[in-house]
Amino acid sequence: MRVSNLLLPTLREVPAEAEVISHQLLLRAGFMRKAAAGVYTLLPLAWRVVRKIEQIIREEMDRQGGQEIMMPIIQPAELWQESGRWDVYGPELFRLKDRHGRDFCLGPTHEEIITSLVKGEVNSYKQLPLLLYQIQNKYRDERRPRFGLMRGREFIMKDLYSFDRDQAGLDVSYNKMYDAYTRVFRRCGLQFRPVVADSGAIGGSDTHEFMVLAESGEATVLYCGDEKCGYAANQERAETVSASGQITSALEQLQTVGTPGCRTVNEVTEFLNVPPEKIIKTVIYTTDKENVAAMVRGDREINEIKLYNTLDCVRLDLADEQTVQSVTGAPVGYAGPVGLSGVRLVADHEIMNMVNAVCGANEKDKHLVNVNPKRDFKPDIIIDLRLVKAGDPCPHCGSELQEARGIEVGQVFKLGTKYSKALGGTFLDENGKSMPYVMGCYGIGVTRTMAAAVEQNYDERGIIWPVQIAPYHVIVVPVSNKDQKLMQAAETIYNDLNAAGVETVIDDRPERAGVKFNDADLVGYPVRVTVGSKGLANGQVELYLRRNSETELVSLNNVVCAVK
Ligand code: ATP
Ligand code: MG
Ligand code: MG
Ligand code: MG
What is the number of the ligand closest to the CA of 218?
1
Mean pLDDT of 218-235: 87
Radius of gyration of the chain (CA): 27
Q: Residue 371, class by beta-carbon neighbours within 10 Å (0-12 exposed, 13-18 middle, 19+ buried)?
A: middle
Q: pLDDT digits over 532-543, tens only?
A: 999 999 999 999
pLDDT, mean over the chain: 82
Q: What pLDDT sits at residue 181?
A: 98
Mean pLDDT of 64-76: 98
Which residues surround ligand 1 with Cβ inside 6 Å? 109, 140, 142, 151-152, 155, 157, 309-310, 408-411, 443, 445, 447-448
Q: Which residues pair with residue 284 across a beta bridge? A: 305, 314
Residue type (1 letter), 456: Q
* Cα of 360 from ligand 2 centre, angstroms: 35
- Contact yes or no for 314/265 (Cβ under 8 A): yes
SS3 state at 417: coil
Q: What pLDDT sits at residue 290?
A: 55
Q: pLDDT digits over 369-406, tens only?
A: 333 433 443 332 233 334 567 887 787 888 998 999 99
Mean pLDDT of 248-272: 53
Does the pLDDT value for residue 344 go beyond 90?
no
Best residue among 34, 94, 448, 454 to mutate for probing ligand 1, ranked by most atoms within 8 Å of CB: 448
Q: What contacts 202, CB < 8 A, 6 or more positions away?
A: 310, 413, 415
Mean pLDDT of 512-526: 97
Mean pLDDT of 502-521: 97
Q: What pLDDT sits at residue 554?
A: 96
* Cα of 92 from ligand 3 centre, angstroms: 9
Does the pLDDT value for residue 357 go beyond 70?
no
Nearest residue (by CA) to ligand 1, atom 14, is 443
Confidence grade of residue 295 (pLDDT, cut at 50, 70, 90): low
Does the pLDDT value for residue 287 go beyond 80?
no
Rounded CA-CA distance 415/479 in Å is 58
- Contact yes or no for 158/54 (Cβ under 8 A): yes
Lowest-confidence pick of 302-316, 324-338, 422-436: 324-338
Q: Name the strand (E) or helix (H) holding 301.
A: none
Q: What pLDDT sits at residue 564?
A: 83
Rounded CA-CA distance 428/124 in Å is 5
Q: What pLDDT sits at residue 377?
A: 36
Nearest residue (by CA) to ligand 1, atom 26, is 151
* Cα of 237 from ligand 2 centre, angstroms: 12
Q: pLDDT digits over 89-138, tens only?
A: 878 999 999 999 999 999 999 999 999 999 999 999 999 999 999 999 99
Q: Which residues pair with residue 508 across a beta bridge? A: none
Nearest residue (by CA) to ligand 1, atom 25, is 151
Lowest-confidence pick of 197-206, 349-358, 427-436: 349-358
SS (H, E, C) 352-387: HHHHHHHHCCCCCCHHHCCCCHHHHCCHHHHCCCCC
Asked casually if ipTM beats, i.e. exceeds, 0.95, the reply is yes
Does the pLDDT value for residue 364 go beyond 50?
no
